[in-house]
Amino acid sequence: MLEIKNLHARIAEDHTEILHGVDLTVNAGEVHAIMGPNGSGKSTLSYVLAGKDDYEVTEGEVLFNGRNMLDMSPDERAAAGMFLAFQYPIEIPGVATMEFLKTAMNAQRKARGEPQLSIPDFMKRVKEAAGFLNVSMDMLKRPLNVGFSGGEKKRAEILQMSLLEPKLCVLDETDSGLDIDALRIVSDGVNKLRGPDRAMVVITHYQRLLDHIVPDVVHVLSKGRIVKTGDKDLALELEKNGYADYVDAAA
């Protein structure tokens, strides 16, 4: 599904290199966790995958179902099935959440040559997904993320993910700012989307999230490279011993 080969990326503005050769392969049906200390390049990796032009790729390649993803615009990547759940979902004043959902879903359908959703069909899908994630109609009527609490923003992200039905989900610190109940709702929402045709990359600082979203593979990212790969027990070990061993190893 996703093949990242020797990926080097830097900040476009000042040319600071953040990723120094990331290699990662994620197959359909798998959930991979990427853990690592602050500043290791986790968020940069997620932005590079989504196509944010604040970053420049200087070397390496990213294949998404065999296609060169780096040649695609952010909206083309989304239509092809890439979804980034943002660490800090942005407030968009003046754009009602419901209207935004409809625009995004239909834009992707159009790009894929599929027919537009009828209003009843759209409403049915939204109501079902919103109900599961405990997202109220009142929230859906409000401008996107405006005045939403931290938990509401994260639930809204997962709602979008559920409705857009991506093939590859990248979750950037989806657990940050969540209390225990919200963490459970969000995790349940994510787990519901797990399936043989879908891959997930879960980026997190803490093992806590991985109790709820149990990964198949765990990677440690440090100083822009993957320095260790293991199974879910690696996350437990990190929780116990911290990142010190790996930070030194990468240095």
Partner 1 sequence: MNASVPIKHTQAESDLIGRFDTARGALTGSVAVTALREAAVSQIRDKGLPHRRVEEYKYTDLRAFMKAAAPMAAAADEATVRTLLDSHDAFDGLERYRIVVANGAFLPGLSDIEALAGEGVSVASLTEELAGPHGAQLLASPKSAANDGVLALNTAFVQGGVVVTVKEGAEVSRPVELIHVAASAGAQISRNRIVVAKGAKLSLLETFAGDSGDGEINTVFDYDVADSASLATTRLIVGQSHAARLFTSITTIGAKAEFKSLGFIAGPRFTRNQQFVNFAGENSNAGIYGVTMARDEDLADQTLIVDHAVPNCNSREFFKTVLDGRAKGVYQGRINVAPHAQKTDGEMMTQALLLSEEAEMANKPELEIFADDVICAHGATSGQIDEDLLFYLRARGIPEDEARTLLVLAFLAEAIEEYGEDDVTEGLEARVRDWLTGH
Instruction: Report the interface residues with partner 1, using CB under 8 A.
Output: 50-53, 73-75, 77-79, 84, 86, 89-90, 92-95, 100, 103-104, 107-108, 111, 143, 160, 164
Q: Quick one: 75 or 121, whose CB is closer to partner 1?
A: 75
Residue with the two structure tokens 């979804």: 83
Q: Quick one: 47 or 246, whose CB is closer to partner 1?
A: 47
Tell me the C-alpha distance between 47 and 221, whole Å. 15
The amino acid occupying position 59 is E
Contact 75, 51 (CB under 8 A): no
Q: Quick one: 62 or 227, whose CB is closer to partner 1?
A: 62
Min separation Cβ 48 and partner 1, Å = 12
Min separation Cβ 174 and partner 1, Å = 15
Q: Quick one: 88 or 184, whose CB is closer to partner 1?
A: 88
Tell me the C-alpha distance between 126 and 218, whole Å. 33
Contact 83, 116 (CB under 8 A): no
Q: Quick one: 84 or 250, whose CB is closer to partner 1?
A: 84
3-class DSSP state for residue 10? strand
Tell me the C-alpha distance between 179 and 210, whole Å. 15
Min separation Cβ 90 and partner 1, Å = 5
Min separation Cβ 45 and partner 1, Å = 15
Min separation Cβ 78 and partner 1, Å = 4
- From the list 228, 232, 189, the residue with the least C-alpha distance to 210 is 232
Q: Quick one: 90 or 244, whose CB is closer to partner 1?
A: 90
Secondary structure letter of residue 66 according to DSSP? T
Torsion (CA) 181, 185, 186, 190 in degrees, nearest 10? 140
Residue spans of beta strands (DSSP E) within 119-214: 168-172, 199-204
Distances (CA, A) of 189 to 44, 194, 212, 243: 25, 9, 11, 29
Min separation Cβ 52 and partner 1, Å = 5
